[in-house]
Amino acid sequence: MADGNTPANTGGVAQDQLRSVVERIERLEEEKAA
């Protein structure tokens, strides 16, 4: 597991991407409601 391609690393990246997408959607919904 020294190839840098472990599920933990992949999951961490996916989690960061998911969080940024969710934050962007929430921001857009707040602007739409305003």
The per-residue pLDDT for range 1-34, each reduced to its tens digit, is: 455 566 666 677 888 999 999 999 999 999 999 8
| Structure tokens, 27 | 């921001």
Q: What is the pLDDT of residue 6?
A: 60
Hey, what long-range contacts does 4-13 have (CB within 8 A, 24 or more apart)?
none
CA gap 21, 17 in Å, rounded: 6
Q: What is the pLDDT of residue 12?
A: 79
Q: What is the pLDDT of residue 1?
A: 43
CA gap 25, 7 in Å, rounded: 26
Q: What is the pLDDT of residue 30?
A: 96
Write down the pTM of the prediction: 0.58
